[in-house]
Structure formats: C-alpha cells, structure tokens
Amino acid sequence: MRRLALSVLTACGLAILSACNSGSGVTTGNSSTIDHIIFTNGSGQANDFFVALYNPGASSPPAVQVNAEGVNGSGLAPQIVPSATFTWSAAFAPAGTPYQFGSTPNGSHKCGAPVDTPFIPVYYEPQNSITPVVLPPGQAADTVYAAGVAGLLPSGTGTSYCYYLLATQSGGSVQGSVLVVVSNSP
C-alpha cells in the first residue's frame, strides 16, 4: 500500500513539474513555423503598453520596449520559435478604443484622438548601438521601441491617444498587434 501511494505521489509530482515547465509553460522549439505572435515588454507578456507624451523640448522621446515572439502551438506547452523575425507598422487607434490600466472598475479607460494624424515612427536599436533610430519600412526586427509622436497631443479635453503596433512575420502571413497608449496620466 505504501509503495502504491509513493508511486502515485511521484507520478503526480512529475506531471506537475512537466506542466509547469519552469513556471512559464512556453518552451523554445526547433520548428520554424509560427501560428501566432505574443508581445512582451522585457519582463513578461503584455497586451497594452504605456508611454508618456513626448515634449518637443526633450532631447529624445520617452519609449517603451516591445518584443515580438513567434509561437507555435497552444495549451500547456506552446513553443517559441527563436528564428522568427518581424516587420512592423503602426496605425492610430480610433478615439474611444478601450484599454485597461489598473484594476477594474476604475482601471477601464478609453483612448482619445490625436490633434492630427502624422506618421507614427517605430524605433529600433541597430546592432552595436545604444541610440534608437526610426525603423525603415520592411526592415525586420524582433524588438522595437514605441514612443509618442513629437509635439502630438490629444485633441480637445482628451488625456491620451493610442496606436496599434502591427508585427508581421517576415516571409510569412502571421500577424499580431498590440495597443500603445500615449498619455501622461493613463
């Protein structure tokens, strides 16, 4: 009886350890095929990114790091595909687009509208450089930096504007997007 109980306990422990997989449930795989994209901010998965408004008198825009990772599979053990690269684009989100900041019910907010709609720069750091520069269209990067547009403020009485960053798999058709909220008080 003791031997049976010990065997059952050991099997359960191994199953739990396998399911946890270092706490993340995501492994690095050998496949080169991805079926979806997840976004991280350098410390964990994120759905909305927040950055302060860009004061034109500042030497550089405040920015937030956005990483894209190609993933194959779902469930308990999806696999990150380390060879996946992405091209990026950005588009303004319509006024009224909802986002979460903090806990509900007070954490529910809506995007305002920008005063005008200029080009939204997406920044990246070239290899061996510590200064972000504007990412040329069509150039692949895994990590970009989302920033506010210089001198662009919310319209009317709004306190924020938002835009979507779209990552498209290089040489593929898989796309993913994430919301960037530009505000001094989300």
DSSP per residue, 14-76 = HHHHHHHTTTT--EE-S----SEEEEE-SSSB-SEEEE----TTSSS--EEEEEEEEEE--TT
19 has pLDDT over 50: no
Q: How far is CA 105 from the centre of its chain?
A: 24
Domain assignment of residue 93, given as a range:
2-183
pTM over 0.75: no
Supply the DSSP symbol for 175: E
Q: 103 exposed, middle or buried (CB, 10 Å; 0-12, 13-18, 19+)? A: exposed
Supply the DSSP symbol for 5: H
Residue 25 near residue 78, CB atoms below 8 Å: yes
- Alpha-carbon gap, residue 129 to 41, rounded angstroms: 20
Calculate what percentage of the chain has a pLDDT beyond 70: 63
86 has pLDDT over 80: yes
Name the band, by pLDDT with cuts 50, 70 and 90, for residue 34: very high
Q: Domain total for the chain? A: 1
81 has pLDDT over 80: yes
